[in-house]
Every structure is written in C-alpha cells, then in structure tokens.
Amino acid sequence: MKKLIICLLMLPVILVSFISAQANSGPTYIEANPGLEMAVDAGCPIAILHEDLTFDFSGGDWGDWSPLAEVTASYTMTNPTNEDVSVTMSFPFVTRFSALAPGVSLVGVDGTAAAFDVYYGKEIRDVTDLSNLNLSDVLSNVLLKAPKEPEDGLLYTVTVDTSALPAGTERIYVRLRFEPQDDVFYVDGFNGMSRYDDGTNEVSAWIYIGRDYRPLTIFAPGGDLKDYSLNAYASHDSDTPLQNIRLNLTQKSIGFRAYIEHCLLSDSGSEADDQASLMDESFYWALLQELDSNTYADMYGSTIPSADLLSSVSYSDRLAMAVYTVDFLKGETKNVTVQCTLEGTMRRPSGYSMEKATYTYTYLSNPAKEWASFGTLSLTVIPSENMPLSSSVPMLTPDDSGSHTVKLEGLPESNITLTLGTPASETNAKANSALPLIIIVIIIAAAITIVLLVRHTRRRKTQNPPL
C-alpha cells in the first residue's frame, strides 16, 4: 500500500508540472511606437468635416510581439475657398527598414488608389518626442537630400592559404594590427577589435579550416593602412605566429557605396548581379546620416564595424512619412483614405507567463492641428474574438456586432489609446485539452486503488480466518 499511496500523492504533482511546464519566459514590457494623424502645412485652407478612424484586429495577424491593428483613417475634406487648390499632404508614421509591415499600405482619393512617396527620417531615440510632433518637426526630420558621403578609398581583403597546415588543424586565429590613423576605417568579417595604449589598432577573427567564412575586409576612405602586420596563431592567447600558413592582404580602389553593397552581399550570400536590389537610396541616405552624426565614431573610435552599422540602420525605429497631393476645385469636397498597420506595447505582470498580458495601442492626434478646422471624429474598434477590449481613451460603447464605437466633436483632448486583454492562453488551452486525459488518469488510479484495497482485505481475511 505504501507504493500505491506514494503514487497517488505524486499524481497531483505530475499534473501540476504538466500544466505549468507550458509557461514561457521573456521580457515583461516591450514598447511600441504610436500611430500619427494626417498632417498638413500651416495655413492650408482645407477643412476636415469628418474623420472615420477604424482599428481592426479581426484579421488575427501578429507583429513581433503583439497583434497588429489594421488602421484605416478616412477623411471627408472640403475646400471652402473660391479658388482651385492643390494640397500636399503627409501621413507620418514610425517604422524600421527591416519591418515586415509596410507602414502605410494605401492612400485613396474618392475610392481610387493615389500615388504616394515615402520619405524616411532620423532614428527615434525618445518616443516621448512624438507627443508634441507637428508637421514642421516631421519635415525637419525627414531626409530630402543625400548626406555627405565618405571618400572613395582602398578595400583590403585578407586571403588565407591553409594547405600547408598539419592534418587535423581545426581553426586558426588571424590578427591584423596597424598603426594609429587619422582617418576612420570600416571593417567587416572580423569578430574582435582592440586598441592598445600606444594607439595601435587590432582586428581579429577565427577561421575554421574547411568551412566558408565571411571575407575579412577593411575599407580605408581616402587613404591606406600604414605599418600593418598580418599573422595567424594557433589560439587567441598565443603570441607565436604560425609558420606553415600563407596570408596576404590584397587591395583595390572602390567607392564607399560599393563597399557597403559588398558587405550586404556577404550578409545575403547573393551574387554580384543582385546587388542593386540590396540597398535603395533611402536606406543608403539613412546610413550616411548615421555616419554624419558621429555616433559610431564616438562609440568605436577610428575603426567602425560595418555589420553593426548596417544592423543599426536596418532595425532602428525612425520617422517616415507618406506624401501625396490632392487637387480640389473651388468648393469641392473629397474623401481621402489612408491605411496602415500599428503594433502595440506589450505588458505582462510576470516574465514567466502570458497570463493577464495586455497590448496597448497609441494614436497621436497632434499632427492634425494645422487643418483650417476639424469637425467630428468617429472611432471604431473591431477586436478579435478572443481578445477583449479592456480599456480605451476616449470611452467606447460596444454594439451588437462586437465592435466598439464613439463619436466626438473635434479632436480628442488626449491621445487615443486602446488596450486589449490576453487571449485564451496557450497554457490554458493545453491544460483544457489535457483535461479528459487527467480525468481518465484519476479514474484509472481510483479503480486501481479500489482493486488493491479489495485484494488487501481478502488477503488479510485469508491470513486470519474467523474463529
């Protein structure tokens, strides 16, 4: 019976372990950037009669960490003047070059898709700066011409001949040292960087024999490496160069853009004739602006890792805007629609469970303050079936279809925020799916207990017959 009791006592522990093992770990707070209202320059005569703003979560699509809101802003606009006017409008948004969602996906005028251009700006390092953003801020941030470009220079590439190494050699450690330089250098393929007290720079990398490795390169704009030494070692802490290996440093003249495209090719593994598709003008301008800010020179000194630079430009949040022109005849009214996607800020009370996690979406109205006037705003939220709308500003009223709506006079006093609750969690789903199994196990355990108790009672009666 002791064995049986122990087994039965362990059963709740096993079941609890089965359920709790489904929880996952991770950060408890991940911030997302807000959405922004349409903007126009000060003094524009166009008035907004009405805006229909819809947040649709019913598609069930997810971004990096939250459900995606499909946002549609539809504006009824009028030209109250006695003159024909052509108005350039912009829809600012925050995005990343690496973002899967396109940001603004559609601009329509009276039901017809309109052409628009997207301009990218500087990195957004402080989201609170967006709270007071106006169109002049957007225009001053967005890049409308190419920043200064580094000079053409020399591309140095390390070539390695390991054919004379002893059989069984798995890897070698390559070090390239060069004397202090006045200019900035860009390195790629090296995974170690050092600067010594005398100003000497060193870049290093492991090379695994028989494996492909990222080319080891240095780009020197407007100059060349002086007094350099190139050696290979058996380990990273060895000071004795290997003798049975041949190293060479080739060089060729190249422009900075061609060098950056060379690094992108190393990332993608593409052939050379694919390089035109790897970097468009907007990305290159943003990269030049990053260099012009001297952020990387302050961080790394005279030797800048190109992979880090490319990663920062690709994955950093930055301001962008879709720009389009709408023509109005005198007294004419038109409907302008913009569609975009928006990700939410994720909060959860514990780093080990998604229970009670919330997703908050913010939409800033301040860029719309420059319109001649703003009439009414109808806000509609369509939540997904399993993610309830837990709070909103302004307050919304649910209707029979499951949507939540409100109609306001003018722009809201504060920014629009929406918070969705946690969907039926994977943990609960798995626990619920396991419930029939748990019940069966308990029934079987109870049946075994009864059988063993009956057998034990009969055995005792047999061993101790009645007198």
**Do 269 and 330 fall into the same domain?**
no
**Do 380 and 309 fall into the same domain?**
no
47 contacts 370 by C-beta, under 8 angstroms: no
Residue 130 within any structural domain of the chain: no
Residue 146 within any structural domain of the chain: no
Q: 0.85 exceeded by the pTM?
A: no
**Do 158 and 257 fall into the same domain?**
yes
Domain of residue 401 covers 34-124+317-420
**Do 308 and 326 fall into the same domain?**
no
Q: Which residues contact 170 (CB under 8 A, 6 or more apart)?
A: 208, 209
Residue 90 within any structural domain of the chain: yes
The pLDDT score that the predictor gives to residue 164 is 85
Q: Could you say which of 282, 297, 315 is where a domain stops?
A: 315
Structural domain count of the chain? 3
- Residue-by-residue DSSP string for 65-82: SSBPEEEEEEEEEE--SS
Q: What is the pLDDT of residues 88-125, one digit of tens each?
A: 888 888 888 887 666 788 999 999 999 998 888 877 76
Residue 138 within any structural domain of the chain: no
**Do 189 and 82 fall into the same domain?**
no
Q: What is the pLDDT of residues 384-426, one digit of tens each?
A: 877 888 878 888 888 888 899 999 998 887 778 888 887 655 4
**Do 274 and 388 fall into the same domain?**
no
CA–CA dist 81, 44 (Å, integer): 11
Q: Could you say which of 315, 331, 364 is where a domain stops?
A: 315
**Do 297 and 348 fall into the same domain?**
no
Cβ neighbours around 23 below 10 Å, total: 15
Q: What is the pLDDT of residues 222-265, one digit of tens each?
A: 877 878 889 999 888 898 998 888 999 999 999 999 999 989 88
The pLDDT score that the predictor gives to residue 243 is 87
Q: What residues does 303 pair with on adjacent strands?
A: 185
Q: Which residues of the chain have pLDDT under 70?
A: 1-42, 100-102, 125-139, 141, 143-144, 180-181, 267-278, 350-354, 423-467
**Do 171 and 223 fall into the same domain?**
yes
Length of the chain: 467
Angle at 137 between CA 133 and CA 378, to 5 degrees: 40
Residue 148 within any structural domain of the chain: no
Q: Could you say which of 266, 289, 315 is where a domain stops?
A: 315
Residue 142 within any structural domain of the chain: no
Token pair of 332 as six digits: 């004419």
**Do 259 and 340 fall into the same domain?**
no
Cα 39 from chain centroid (whole Å): 25
Residue 147 within any structural domain of the chain: no
**Do 103 and 186 fall into the same domain?**
no
**Do 281 and 184 fall into the same domain?**
yes
Amino acid identity of residue 113, one-letter, is A
CA–CA dist 412, 364 (Å, integer): 10
**Do 58 and 111 fall into the same domain?**
yes
